[in-house]
Structure 1
Amino acid sequence: MWFRNLRFYRFSDEFALPDDFENKLGEHLFRPCGRQEQSTFGWFSPFGADHETLTHVLNDCHLLCARREEKVLPAAVINAELEEKVRQIQEAEGRPVNRKEKQNLKEDLIHQLLPQAFSRYRLSWGYIDLKRQLVIINESAANKAEDFLGLLRSTLGSLPVQPVSPAEAAELTMTDWLKRNDLPAAFDFGDEAELRSPQQDGGILRCKNEDLTRDDIQAHIEAGKQVTRLGLVWQENIEFILETDFALKRVKATDILMDAQDDLVDPSPEEKLDADFMLVSAQIGELYDDLVRAFTSDAN
């Protein structure tokens, strides 16, 4: 399961993909950086560089992959070059170099160094679940997920989505679960949690590889700390950390799920991707449904 982090975005209006979706993706295809570009971001085939297909469809789920190239210019290198430039000006002209001039010198240096910079490449995965009217993105950081959504929005012209969030603050619900030692059906406690005091100068308790129902952890809840990250196991199949913004981190298939998956004999890359996406989309979809039910039932 290569979706290690999950961020859910729900369409605010009934959404359907255009018939020419593949062509629209092709208009925003990934391309390498030009000599003076610091980064580029575009669609990339889920099957790899040797394929032209830009989406893979399975059971009303459309898998997408985007690729980013970033030119790597270490700050230490730029600052060292800048200091040398400033020193030369001060010695040659006998005057200080002000902040605005330093900024202009820095921009010139970046312009000069970009063609020699190394490139760093990164793939970003997501998929559109038309049945559930969701976009699900494999990113731990919200800003990276927004980059993916931005590319999709540019591709489609509009993208009426908003982050999925429960009606009641997630930390209140998660705290109540741990306080009562009672989880909704389909879930079990994992072995990790973070508890924070609501006060700005309050303490933070992080637990790892621990029994979360221990008396001393309960004492922190009684003292007013709230659960801001909670390790959960869903259907004995998937382990994850649930955060207050409804993001799932460190998503991992359990041995039970992997043992139950049919093994392909010498699969091609296409067959492997198809099998993996079938597993991911089915499991994540059902996990999402149960999570929404869990928060909805606790709010009622």
Structure 2
Amino acid sequence: MWFRNLRFYRFSDTFALPEDFENQLQDYLFKPCGRQDQSSFGWCSPFGADNALLTHSLNNCHLLCARREEKVLPATVVNAEVDEKVRQIQETEGRPVNRKEKQNLKEDLVHQMLPQAFSRFRLSWGYIDLTRQLIVIDESAANRAEDFLGLLRSTLGSLPVQPVSPAESIELTLTEWLKSNHVPNPFEFGDEAELKAPQQDGGILRCKNEDLSREDIQAHLTSGKQVTRLGLTWQEHIDFIIETDFALKRVKATDMLMDEQDDLVDPTAEQKVDADFMLISAQVGQLYDDLVRAFTGSDA
């Protein structure tokens, strides 16, 4: 288990978990889709299907895992069936089929096909850091992170959180860093960036595996392009891409970090999750503190 994406949400009011949190999670336990359900979303154990615990707590951080099932009905298959039904009606009844009738045909077909549809499953990870009053979610898309928060909000009854975002424009800060060829400690530049002209129809320059201090890249910045994605390395431990909504993508532990960890010999599922979460919560917490300090000049 390693978080490949990081989205940060800060509590707007001081938050503490209820004493019966585990029982509240049980009320929203994942249940497989019924015959006519298109999707299902609920909590599952971080330790796997054979474990009943729905959270794992360590150093005032609480790990959660949600499971989603989605019935797969390819649009091309559904549309082909609808077209065939329309053709049959036109031939047998000699009349056109209007848009509303087409939609009703499509809904009826989906209803008939759902019980035979294949299911696609995925896990969504996140944790609550009560010390920092923070929720960290491993999702690349904002809407999927909101689904996770929505499930947690339903579980708790309320959830006063908002996305973490510095007051100053992130694009301006990233652009200034790259223009000056200086990034605050303990960060270093990676080898990837995206530069975009502010005009609606302006050009986009994407660099990968490149020296970002090159003269031609600097020339694009001088001409007015702004940095919208920037690769960074934190403390030689974590590589990532930061975007303009303060989300971190393609988060990866460096070899240096992994070499510093003691290898467990034949760990159980519980031991593996515990070791991974200890590493993630400690490293990501410090990374978050340093990011806030880099963007605001003050502590989180």
Per the TM alignment, residue 267 of structure 1 is displaced from its structure 2 partner at its CA by: 1.0
| Aligned residue runs from structure 1 range 4-19, under 5 A | 4-19=4-19
Structure 1 residue 26 corresponds to structure 2 residue 26:
yes
Tell me the residue number matched to 1:175: 175
SS in 1 for 2:270: helix
Q: Detail structure 1 runs of 4+ shifted over 2 Å in the superposition.
A: none
Instruction: Work out the CA distance in 2 between the residues paired with 1:156 and 1:288.
Output: 25
SS in 2 for 1:46: coil
Per the TM alignment, residue 279 of structure 1 is displaced from its structure 2 partner at its CA by: 0.3
Tell me the residue number matched to 1:205: 205
Query: AA paired with 2:71?
Result: K
Per the TM alignment, residue 256 of structure 1 is displaced from its structure 2 partner at its CA by: 0.4
The one-character-per-residue Cα deviations of 1:26-60 (angstroms, maximum 9, x if unpaired) are 00000000000000000000001001000000000
Query: AA paired with 1:241?
Result: I
Per the TM alignment, residue 93 of structure 1 is displaced from its structure 2 partner at its CA by: 1.0
Per the TM alignment, residue 92 of structure 1 is displaced from its structure 2 partner at its CA by: 1.0
Tell me the residue number matched to 1:153: 153
Per the TM alignment, residue 2 of structure 1 is displaced from its structure 2 partner at its CA by: 1.4
Per the TM alignment, residue 107 of structure 1 is displaced from its structure 2 partner at its CA by: 0.3
Query: AA paired with 1:170?
Result: I
Instruction: Work out the CA distance in 1 between the residues paired with 2:266 and 2:122.
Output: 27
Tell me the residue number matched to 2:92: 92
Tell me the residue number matched to 2:127: 127
Superposition TM-score, scaled by structure 1 size: 0.99
- Tell me the C-alpha RMSD between the 2 structures: 0.7
Query: AA paired with 2:52?
Result: E
The one-character-per-residue Cα deviations of 1:77-131 (angstroms, maximum 9, x if unpaired) are 1011101000011011111101111001000000000000000000000000000
Query: AA paired with 2:17?
Result: L
Query: AA paired with 2:293?
Result: R
Per the TM alignment, residue 281 of structure 1 is displaced from its structure 2 partner at its CA by: 0.4
Instruction: Work out the CA distance in 2 between the residues paired with 1:12 and 1:123.
Output: 27
Instruction: Work out the CA distance in 2 between the residues paired with 1:269 and 1:49.
Output: 11
Tell me the residue number matched to 1:55: 55
Instruction: Work out the CA distance in 2 between the residues paired with 1:31 and 1:21.
Output: 19
SS in 2 for 1:66: strand
Instruction: Work out the CA distance in 1 between the residues paired with 2:274 and 2:17.
Output: 21
Tell me the residue number matched to 1:289: 289
Instruction: Work out the CA distance in 2 between the residues paired with 1:129 and 1:90.
Output: 61
Structure 1 residue 192 corresponds to structure 2 residue 198:
no
Instruction: Work out the CA distance in 2 between the residues paired with 1:267 and 1:241.
Output: 31
Instruction: Work out the CA distance in 2 between the residues paired with 1:271 and 1:68.
Output: 25
SS in 1 for 2:297: helix
Tell me the residue number matched to 2:278: 278
Tell me the residue number matched to 1:163: 163
| Aligned residue runs from structure 1 range 232-243, under 5 A | 232-243=232-243
Q: Percent identity?
A: 80
Tell me the residue number matched to 1:218: 218
SS in 2 for 1:81: helix
Query: AA paired with 1:215?
Result: E
State which drifts further: 265-274 or 189-198: 265-274
Instruction: Work out the CA distance in 1 between the residues paired with 2:267 and 2:92.
Output: 67
Structure 1 residue 44 corresponds to structure 2 residue 57:
no
Tell me the residue number matched to 2:68: 68
Instruction: Work out the CA distance in 2 between the residues paired with 1:167 and 1:256.
Output: 33
Instruction: Work out the CA distance in 2 between the residues paired with 1:126 and 1:86.
Output: 46
Instruction: Work out the CA distance in 2 between the residues paired with 1:260 and 1:268.
Output: 21
Superposition TM-score, scaled by structure 2 size: 0.99
SS in 2 for 1:76: helix
